[in-house]
Amino acid sequence: MAPLAVRLPAGRGPRYSRATMSNTPTLPDLATLETPALLLSQPRMAANIERMRQRIATLGVAFRPHVKTAKSLAVAQAMLGAASGAITVSTLREADEFAAQGFADITYAVGITPNKLGHVARLLAQGVQLRLILDSVAAAQALVQAADAFAAPVGVLIEIDTDGHRAGIAPADAATLLAVAAALSHPRVQLLGVLTHLGASYDCRSPEALRAAAEQERAGAVQAAEQLRAAGHAAPVVSVGSTPSALFAQQLSGVTELRAGVYVFQDLVMAGLGVCTPDDVAVSVLTSVVGHQRAKGWTLVDAGWMALSRDRGTAAQPVDQGYGLVCDVAGLVLPDYTVIAANQEHGTIAHRSGDKGAMLDLPVGTLLRILPNHACATCAQFSSYQVVDGANQIQAEWPRFGGW
């Protein structure tokens, strides 16, 4: 068997080798966990939060973090630096969970459907200041029909399509914008402005493209709000955002609020965009070596797609990270090793080159960590975070929830 030959970028510390592995601190806390388990590095999360806090301060807008990535009270509080505050959610289940913990200012950023309006009424009756989004006269009419049963006014943001990638009304489509605004006529329905999410930023391949995408998002949202204002609607809220646009926007004039979520953990897709590095990724899946297929150069681990998710968001990026990038138990990235295949409860690790002689030949039971392609998808496979400090001591177990 050839010795391990793992290339590390310069300046990343000692060459990683079997000898280094055996000298790895014993990490007694991590050895008590059954694998797979979801680890959350509190120092990395704190650094990601501080970076975004500084960006928001520079940009001079309100911040409404998206809690869909973490779905955790403790993480949301860390994002806000407060016990509660304004948040964005992707499901009414998130709204329920956070409302129960005292969060009273919630934007549900998925187009509202009629069968959720009873749920909306319950949240309003609980005192939640809820904002919904929609992009059609039909959805506006359904909301107005239900509003007689609302105990308090519901806010509405018209969804704007600034990149053609999903839902929303084009910023220049004044006729549709005004028709939707006109349909929102009810004493308990308040048109508050516009919301957009430029998801196409995930396809950018350079800082210049990310900056241009952020400007496109800003300009489109502001244009749409101005169309509403020109027709006499107040439209005080102009909400934009994603982690890439938050971190790459040069200026946000006309924008009142920014949303972002994945920044709190970061992931390999973000690293592939240049938004962060793999060393900024705060979540990883702890896994054990189950066995080997040495003739193929494979190391089998007990993190399959059930733990890692089926997300292959790096597949279309310049560096394909398979189902995730491998680190040693202490979190040191082994840049040449990825999870090349995944079954339900098995992952297959191989050298990026396909060199069988360079396989990760570690004993059965060796602990490794896998960085996720997409933090939202990977975290969703777990019911809690094992929160570790900089010395990989477990500080807490934070529950998370899923579902609708």
In this chain, which stretch among 49-57, 150-158, 292-300, 387-395 interacts with a second copy, using CB under 8 A?
A: 292-300
Among 44, 55, 64, 68, binds a second copy (CB under 8 A): 68
Does 338 sit near a second copy (CB under 8 A)?
no
Distance CA(390)–CA(398), nearest Å, equals 17
Does 306 sit near a second copy (CB under 8 A)?
yes
Cβ atoms 198, 163 nearer than 8 A: yes
- Nearest approach, Cβ of residue 308 and a second copy (Å): 10
Q: Which residues pair with 287 in a beta bridge?
A: 368
Distance CA(40)–CA(24), nearest Å, equals 19
Tokens of 331: 């979190």
Does 28 sit near a second copy (CB under 8 A)?
no
- Nearest approach, Cβ of residue 8 and a second copy (Å): 27
Q: At what angle do helices 174-183 and 207-230 cross, to 10 degrees?
A: 60
- Report DSSP state, residue 402: -
Does 45 sit near a second copy (CB under 8 A)?
no
Among 10, 11, 23, 115, binds a second copy (CB under 8 A): 115
Q: Are strands 367-371 and 325-328 parallel, antiparallel or unpaired?
A: antiparallel
Cβ atoms 196, 211 nearer than 8 A: no
Does 181 sit near a second copy (CB under 8 A)?
no
Listing DSSP states for 219-264 in one string gives HHHHHHHHHHHHTT----EEEE--HHHHHH-S--TT--EE---GGG
In this chain, which stretch among 114-122, 209-217, 234-242, 252-260 interacts with a second copy, using CB under 8 A?
A: 114-122
Residue placing its CB nearer to a second copy in the complex, 298 or 335: 298
Does 166 sit near a second copy (CB under 8 A)?
yes
Residue placing its CB nearer to a second copy in the complex, 309 or 338: 309
Please list, in sequence order, all residues whose beta carbon lies within 8 angstroms of the beta carbon of residue 263, skipping any fewer than 6 positions away: 48, 49, 51, 52, 243, 246, 247, 270, 275
Among 291, 354, 390, 399, binds a second copy (CB under 8 A): 291
350-369 positions binding a second copy, by CB under 8 A: 363-365, 367
Site for a second copy, rule CB under 8 A:
31, 33-37, 68, 90-92, 110-116, 119, 134-136, 138-139, 142, 161, 164, 166-167, 199, 288-293, 296, 300, 302, 305-307, 309-312, 343-346, 348, 363-365, 367, 376-377, 380-383, 402-404
